[in-house]
Amino acid sequence: TLRLRPPAPLALPHCARRSTSLGGLPVPAGSILVPNLLAAHQDPELWEHPEEFLPERFLSAGAPLRSLLPFGCGARSCLGEAVARAELFVFLGQLLGDFRLEPPVPGLLPSLRVRAGTVLRCPSFRVRLVPWEGAD
**Residue (of 1, 10, 3) closest to 117 by Cα position:** 10
Contact 116, 5 (CB under 8 A): no
118: amino acid identity, one letter: T
78 annotated to bind ligand: yes
Contacting residues for 33 by C-beta, under 8 A, at least 6 apart: 13, 14, 15, 16, 22, 27
Binding site: what residues are annotated?
Answer: 78
**Binding residue ranges for heme:** 78
